Amino acid sequence: MFIAGVIALLSSCVGPSPISKLDPQTKNFTWNYGQKYIDKTQDSIRFSIAFNKNAGNDLVFDVEVINRSSDSILVSPEAFFYKAMNEYGTMLGRYVYAVNPEKMLLEVDKKLAREEAHQANQAIVDLVSTTTEAAATVATLDENPHKKQALYNEINYNRHQREMNAMNSEQRVHSLNAERNFWEDKVLRTTELAPGYSIKGKVYFERNVNAASYEFIFPLGNEVFKINYKQILHKP
């Protein structure tokens, strides 16, 4: 019965997700460091895009916008979206919009605030704990050695737990700060792009593993750039 249960458990384990590779449905691209870059210019706005990688359940793109027009344009990644299609060209579900970096930053800031509050509360608990331990140590000065040793063991255990809690909290803060720095500096963010200026960064979309192809739509100023990709899945 035990062996049968183990076999059933193993058979229900989740396997690794397939890896998505997106190939442009156009021959008008250039290679650069293993990536296929597509460049389009419409009404003096130059748009450049390359599929970067499949990260977890996200599709990551390197995007650059150059404003060669005489007016400022709004580059807003949360306005970018795609239509996923099956092998017959039928749309799957609704439009999927790019990840909004400002929302991601807000969520990270909320987590950091909660972690800071946790550290402040934990500091109060630790102070009370160490004060209580000190008083208990004084109270056992005249007790028998076994009772003293039991108390010292408990104090050492509590001290170790406090140190572990503090270290884990610092690691969480470090990880959250790294995540914040990423969404702040590495991705394309909403920007009023003045004439003659450019901006670039990564854009994230949640992928559709059932899609045979995608049509990505990028509104920029009064122009709309459309890029089509074929999705190829590779088993790990």
Percent of the chain with pLDDT over 90: 61
pLDDT in tens, 7-54: 554 455 667 889 999 999 999 999 999 999 999 999 999 999 999 999
Measured distance CA(153)–CA(156) in Å, rounded: 5
Is 3.50.50.60 the CATH classification of the domain at 16-100+187-234? Answer: no
Measured distance CA(152)–CA(21) in Å, rounded: 59
Measured distance CA(203)–CA(60) in Å, rounded: 6
Residue 5 has pLDDT above 60, yes or no: no
Cα three-residue angle 160-165-169, rounded to 5 degrees: 150
pLDDT in tens, 100-116: 999 999 999 999 888 87
Output Rg (C-alpha) for the chain, integer angstroms.
27
pLDDT in tens, 142-179: 566 666 666 567 667 767 777 777 787 788 888 889 98
Measured distance CA(48)–CA(99) in Å, rounded: 19
Rounded mean pLDDT, 206-225 = 96
Percent of the chain with pLDDT over 70: 79
